[in-house]
Structure 1
């Protein structure tokens, strides 16, 4: 390749890099430093979830942006607290409602970390599901830049339940464990009953789901016991056969010895 062609190739490659960078857009500039978010909560209970953001200005051209949040909690209060590099509080804002926006994050204010805390009431379950378990959005955070473009920072979900659904789920878990423990036995009936229990759970028929789960667990335990009994009988029969063969061999040997003695 000549020097002229190489120069043209270099310019073309540089142009492509610039074009691809422009199309890709800026990379998300925020990371989650820590979080304190419950994995599950009972419907109607009040919960608090907290997330702390740092590395707020990874892009040198991004010196300020706007934070927005969303939750499925009800009767919600948001608290956004700003800290500098020493950990000292710079500012604090409060918002009400399931959505908030307009929380300004700016390097010029000395902000190095932002803590977002949301408190509210766990909502009703719209649709129950055994596997995967039904969830709701606890916190969803977005970064909005000047011009309207935005990045999803992170989203946290949690399992929500009622007292009845939790009791039914516990029975289903126990039945499923019994079926898995009886691996190798004939658990077809137990599995079918368990499947019916799951359908009842998903249909919010928790009493029926509990009863069917108990039946499935009993069936699985009986299948395992029957399988173990059958194995013991097989082992016993095998042992008797070995003893019979040994005894028969011994008697045959004795009979042969007696015959030799008479001939002698």
Structure 2
């Protein structure tokens, strides 16, 4: 390859690398100024979550776009409130259903900040899991624009539970902590009971899960106590050996002294 061809090839390769680097940079989205969303909620309870968005036109540079949202809550009402730069409310819209779109965000309208609020009923748990705990989507927001392209703004999830599953989980957590505290002891039986408890929990057998978890905790505590007792016995036996050696040494020394006295 001649020097000229090599130079052209190098420039082409460099341009390609730059192009690929730019293409690899993910498109940005608006900023989340604040959020007030639950981290956990009981099934069939009514909850409200809200997220406030700002820097609406900076990343990417758009003067107008559409806000869309979705949730796993049921019997849902969305409220989108628009504010100007002074914090004054300039408009408000409401939407029903688990999915909505059509909330228009435009700089020409004077909108500087948007608050999205969703209210609904916490859904049933389709499948219980212990670790990680089962979750549902409280709300998910996206920035969409003409042509179908979109940027994810954020997704907020929460753990959902029933009264029975929460009680069983508390027992599981307590058993897990007891097994961890008994580290170094023989906790094999406790661990097996715990594993069975988790299996029962994930099968929605919460009464059985609680019983097995309590059994696991008891066995872990017993293993820890047994280990401590064994350790104390070892220390005691070691102490007796030391005492015996000292006593034997003293008696030997005493007998030697008596022998020296007779010889003297």
Q: TM-score, normalised by structure 2?
A: 0.92
Q: How far is 1:84 from its partner?
A: 1.5
Q: Does 1:198 align with 2:198?
A: yes
Q: Are 1:63 and 1:107, in contact at CA under 8 Å, matched by a contact in 2? A: yes
In structure 2, C-alpha distance between the alignment counterparts of 1:202 and 1:16, rounded to whole Å: 49
Give the number of equivalent residue pairs.
Answer: 263
In structure 1, C-alpha distance between the alignment counterparts of 2:237 and 2:20, rounded to whole Å: 80
Q: Does 1:91 align with 2:98?
A: no
Q: How far is 1:192 from its partner?
A: 0.5
In structure 1, C-alpha distance between the alignment counterparts of 2:29 and 2:212, rounded to whole Å: 51
Q: How far is 1:28 from its partner?
A: 2.0
Q: Which moved more, 1:79-88 or 1:211-220?
A: 79-88
Cα RMSD (Å) of the superposition? 2.3
* Alignment partner, residue 67 of structure 2: 67
Q: TM-score, normalised by structure 1?
A: 0.92
Q: How far is 1:146 from its partner?
A: 1.7
Q: Are 2:79 and 2:118, in contact at CA under 8 Å, matched by a contact in 1? A: yes
In structure 1, C-alpha distance between the alignment counterparts of 2:177 and 2:164, rounded to whole Å: 20
Which string of whole-angstrom CA distances, capped at 9 and with x for unpartnered residues, describes residues 29-83 of structure 1? 3121111111000001000111111111124741110000000001111011111
Change (3 A) 1:24 1:90: farther
Which string of whole-angstrom CA distances, capped at 9 and with x for unpartnered residues, describes residues 156-194 of structure 1? 100000000000000000000000000000000000010
Q: Are 2:29 and 2:60, in contact at CA under 8 Å, matched by a contact in 1? A: no
SS in structure 2 of the partner of residue 147 of structure 1: coil
In structure 2, C-alpha distance between the alignment counterparts of 1:257 and 1:20, rounded to whole Å: 92
* Alignment partner, residue 27 of structure 2: 27
In structure 2, C-alpha distance between the alignment counterparts of 1:51 and 1:161, rounded to whole Å: 23
Q: Which runs of 5+ in 2 are unaligned?
A: none
Q: Which runs of 5+ in 1 are unaligned?
A: none
